[in-house]
Structure 1
Amino acid sequence: MIEERTTFTVDGVEVAAVMTLPEGEQVMPCPAVFTAPGFAGVKEMLIPNYSADLAAGGVASLAFDYPGFGASGGDVRQHIDLPQQLRSFRAALDVLARDPRIDSERIAVWGTSMSGGHAIAVAAEDPRVKAVAAIIPFIHLTPTGNFELAPVIVRDALRRLFRRPGLTIPAAGRPGEVATMNSDGAYEWSLEMARGAENYRNEVTVASLPAMLRWSTRKAAARLTVPVLAILAESDTITPPVRVRKALSRVDGVEYVSYPESHFELFTDHAEAVRKSTVKWLVSKLGE
């Protein structure tokens, strides 16, 4: 496979990306997929193994860091701007669609957790996307489910009101700790993934959180008309499978793959199986 470092621009910010291509000019133009990390992650986490397997199957990949994360630019670091992240997905699609090495009629998107929600949204709105693989995708939060974060959200809002620096909290913590995710093996998984991701920082701005409580991909999911693969973890308390199934209930032909574990256990106990089934599905859909 061939790896190329590249950049594109979103809202005036330089976004760092990696294009992974299958070897051999005879395979060009080739099908392609695009993706980005899950919540607060960077492109060196989880994604490279998928890109390598896809390249072996003749499919190119474009993976990027969100503005403010990893190797991407952005003055405000570790701030999750969900509309901007979705615009980044659209921009990545534009990059692929205008690359002469890519078959613009065979482009798919995949994502995990938060990026799985973005993948659903962009696939629902842009006909250039021909298939979507959503692994434990984000649909929406329940406000009461994050009640323990209310005090820190209030403190952060008061600090910013008086022009003091905003607060950050860990993206992943142990059970009982104040963090955006403190269940389902979040802390252990983040430690493991961080070993190969020097740009990863286990923190997000507290100012990121209120908008997340209002964010939903439920309506977008209902508009999907392309082939959908949904991989779920039945004990997931972060992106519960019941929400995913409900959001996709009116979509024809959704292919479900289900595991009994929780959110992050999916990538520890079944990492290879999930990757292989996702790659196989994407390669098959883009070869049709």
Structure 2
Amino acid sequence: MPIEEDVEFAVPGATLRGRLFRPGGSAGTPLPVAVLQGGLGGPAESVFPMAQGFTDAGLACLIYDHRCTGYSDGEPRQLFDPWQQCRDLRHVITHLTLRDDIDAGRIGLWGISIGGANSLFTAAMDRRVAAVVSLIPPVSGWSARKLQPTGTMAELDALIPDDRQAQLRGETAATLRLHGRPEPGRPVMFSDEEGLEFVENMIQGLPSFSNEITVSTLDHLFEMEVRAYAERITAPLLMILASKDTVAPAEEAREMFARVPEPKELIEYEGQHYEILSKHLPEIVSRSAGWLGRTLKR
């Protein structure tokens, strides 16, 4: 069984909290490490069950909550800012390089959805990343606007500057539902049936999960364009896509992948964004953890 250690990382303006997993019997040996990130709104607790797939591959495995979410510090709560998350991730990498039980030359990133996009961007900007796995990444934030009907998107666009003014006056940040069924006057970020099923089975009920995001999160999501950094990714890359993905459009990820330098590998599963996670997650974890283990051990 993996050895588990609760960890904290002081980064500018916040303390991030999570858990480090190491293979049993690995005490005293500096290990390659995989830093795992889940999708939008998914707390670290939802990713903990995946850790054994990585420790079985001979890797240490770090999973933590982003600032403003889960058990980490930060206000307003439920603000998800991908660029800030990537800056924090680079600080976390620095903390890992200072640990005696981690091999600073063998740090890999692994992420699902927005976590996969974060991993791509960080790998493009930080040469300490030795390998990267990106699952169903939304590589263009502007595409997230297509998840909403035109009328609803116009309403949300109007809310964003109003919320900025309200927060400047000291008021609580406005929020909207993350997953759910659309209702008049109650916008929701994700409403596809596969997504609702995935959340209900894997995330709903976890103590650190909150089914909402701040309205300002939308602003931050829309501005993130990871595909602009494709040519800067020099670490070995494994990208795993859902062939019919419209949540994180597969055609955009394929176009970005084509521009990433070798070495790289692309795997596609038939289906939609959350559908392949519901049907194939254990296989995806085992397959990608094995690839990461082999790549980092070279």
TM-score scaled by length of structure 2: 0.90
AA matched with 1:84: Q
Say if 1:68 and 1:222 are closer, same or farther in 2 by CA, change over 3 A: same
CA distance in 1, matches of 2:85, 2:38: 10
- From 222, 225, 234, give the equivalent of 1:216: 225
CA distance in 1, matches of 2:27, 2:163: 58
AA matched with 1:284: R
Tell me the equivalent position of 1:185: 194
Tell me the equivalent position of 1:161: 165
SS of the counterpart of 1:122?
helix
Once the two structures are superposed, the pairs formed by residues 1-288 of structure 1 within 5 Å of their partners are: 1-25=2-26, 28-45=29-46, 47-140=47-140, 141-142=142-143, 145=146, 146=148, 147=150, 148-158=152-162, 160-161=164-165, 163=169, 164-174=171-181, 178-183=187-192, 185-195=194-204, 197-251=206-260, 252-288=262-298
AA matched with 1:54: F
AA matched with 2:106: R
Conservation of the 8 A alpha-carbon contact between 1:136 and 1:263 = yes
Conservation of the 8 A alpha-carbon contact between 2:83 and 2:224 = no
Conservation of the 8 A alpha-carbon contact between 2:45 and 2:206 = yes
Conservation of the 8 A alpha-carbon contact between 2:145 and 2:222 = no
| Cα shift readout 1:34-68 (whole Å, capped 9, x = no counterpart) | 122211110111x2233112112210011110111
The CA deviation at 1:13 is: 0.7
Conservation of the 8 A alpha-carbon contact between 2:42 and 2:203 = no
CA distance in 1, matches of 2:179, 2:193: 10
SS of the counterpart of 1:158?
helix
Conservation of the 8 A alpha-carbon contact between 1:114 and 1:137 = yes
AA matched with 1:264: Y
Conservation of the 8 A alpha-carbon contact between 1:4 and 1:20 = yes
| Cα shift readout 1:49-96 (whole Å, capped 9, x = no counterpart) | 331121122100111101110011113100112221111211221121
CA distance in 2, matches of 1:48, 1:166: 29
The CA deviation at 1:149 is: 2.8
Conservation of the 8 A alpha-carbon contact between 1:184 and 1:236 = no
Conservation of the 8 A alpha-carbon contact between 2:143 and 2:249 = no
CA distance in 2, matches of 1:193, 1:139: 24
SS of the counterpart of 2:49?
helix
| Cα shift readout 1:195-215 (whole Å, capped 9, x = no counterpart) | 462110010011211232121
SS of the counterpart of 2:220?
helix
Identity across matched positions, percent: 29
Q: Which runs of 5+ in 2 are unaligned?
A: none
CA distance in 2, matches of 1:159, 1:15: 26
SS of the counterpart of 1:62?
strand
TM-score scaled by length of structure 1: 0.93
SS of the counterpart of 2:17?
strand
The CA deviation at 1:166 is: 3.5
Say if 1:104 and 1:196 are closer, same or farther in 2 by CA, change over 3 A: farther
Conservation of the 8 A alpha-carbon contact between 2:180 and 2:188 = yes
CA distance in 1, matches of 2:44, 2:124: 23
CA distance in 1, matches of 2:26, 2:285: 26
The CA deviation at 1:27 is: 6.7
User: Number of paired residues?
Assistant: 287
SS of the counterpart of 2:45?
coil
| Cα shift readout 1:14-34 (whole Å, capped 9, x = no counterpart) | 111111011224671111111
SS of the counterpart of 1:110?
strand
CA distance in 2, matches of 1:67, 1:198: 16
Conservation of the 8 A alpha-carbon contact between 1:139 and 1:243 = yes
Quick check: 210-219 or 70-79, which moved more?
210-219
Conservation of the 8 A alpha-carbon contact between 2:7 and 2:18 = yes
Q: Which runs of 5+ in 1 are unaligned?
A: none
